[in-house]
Amino acid sequence: MSKLVPPHGGGTLKPLLAPEAERAAELKRAATLKQVPMSSRETSDLVMMAMGAYTPLDGFMGEADWRGVCTDMKMADGLFWPIPITLSAEQALADSIGIEEEVALVDADSGEIMGILEVTEKYVIDRELECEHVYRTTDEKHPGVQKVLEQGPVNLGGRVTALSEGVYPEQYADLYMRPAETRAMFAEKGWSRVAAFQTRNPMHRSHEYLAKIGVEICDGVLIHQVLGKLKPGDIPAEVRVDAIDALVENYFVPGTAIQSGYPIEMRYAGPREALLHALFRQNFGCSDQVIGRDHAGVGDYYGPFDAQHIFDTLWDGALVTRPLNIDITFYCDKCDGMATSKTCPHGEEHRMNISGTKLREMFANHDPVSTKFSRPEVLKVLQAYYDKLT
């Protein structure tokens, strides 16, 4: 019997991808249905459902679930869920779709049919309510808020049958792992307590330090990369993969770290997104989620530790996976090593902090970057990437 944490909701994993033997016939049938185009965010959510990462959802949320998730982080049946998973449509298209009608879900960027939705609800959302509760702002400059404001005026709710996982299984063949696969790998290693380390960036010394704390406390760490669409300026996944591979190969004890990737599109919702990360990491088999400074944040919309504090507001039984809260990390010259404010007594003048913006400038100008900030093997990968941009 597995000693790993149970999937969210306490049941079994619930991947919505149709069996391979049925997909060709279902795709042929889907081609005859009305087509609903999906944004990149909606497509990424469908792929998360396909692989079982959004267990126990069975499709896109109806109005009661949407409202409960926005206001109370609860679905209509009381299940904890922190961010709405919804599908929008333009008014004319929504008006043409009947209740209980099946429609084809099409990725708007690629034109690929990704699944079939049995429409059980059509409803209009309060965009301001969603933005205020989920993102804590209605500022259209926030990338997550911008997505909500750009979506169609009507949401379609209902059960989903996924027919594709998009480009991920082939493009990231060595990285793309479904929850059933990570669980099998953890079990094979004999791990029962696993820390998840979320990243959309190459891992610098601070990230390495956080991941190694996870290894110290747990049996091992899952370095879990975002493979979905990011905001402009973020480093592509294939570059991050090479940088993290170099780091793990040279600076981690063999067998203590697994690098994997998953297809979500970041919402940059800060505290609420930290909760979502912990929820689906529970489905992947992780007992702990590393939460550092400004987890899943953007700009100055959230306090540096808001993503840690929000876990204290949850009710008993909401989540099994717990936060592994860690203070701001930095290199201290006087300590001569990585530290946090809890372990380092020295002043700011001894602490090395380099922002991502500053780092990009240094690479672009070929300025030297201290190995106290990033390992030389990682710097080599990143410099090669930035050289191609100039």
Which residues are marked as active site? 200-201
Q: Enter the DSSP assignment of 238.
A: H
CA–CA separation, 268 vs 301, rounded Å? 10
CA–CA separation, 30 vs 117, rounded Å? 10
Q: What share of the chain is helix, strand, coil (3-state, %, to 5)?
A: 40, 20, 45
Q: Phi-psi bin for 10: left (phi > 0), alpha (psi -120 to 50), beta?
A: left
Contact 214, 324 (CB under 8 A): yes
Residue with tokens 């929008």: 88
What type of residue sits at position 213? I
CA–CA separation, 114 vs 27, rounded Å? 9
H/E run at residue 158: strand 154-162
Q: Classify residue 352 as exposed, middle or buried by CB count within 10 Å of its CB (0-12, 13-18, 19+).
A: middle
Q: Classify residue 390 as exposed, middle or buried by CB count within 10 Å of its CB (0-12, 13-18, 19+).
A: exposed
> Which residues have CB under 8 Å from 126's CB, separation 6+?
none
CA–CA separation, 51 vs 64, rounded Å? 25
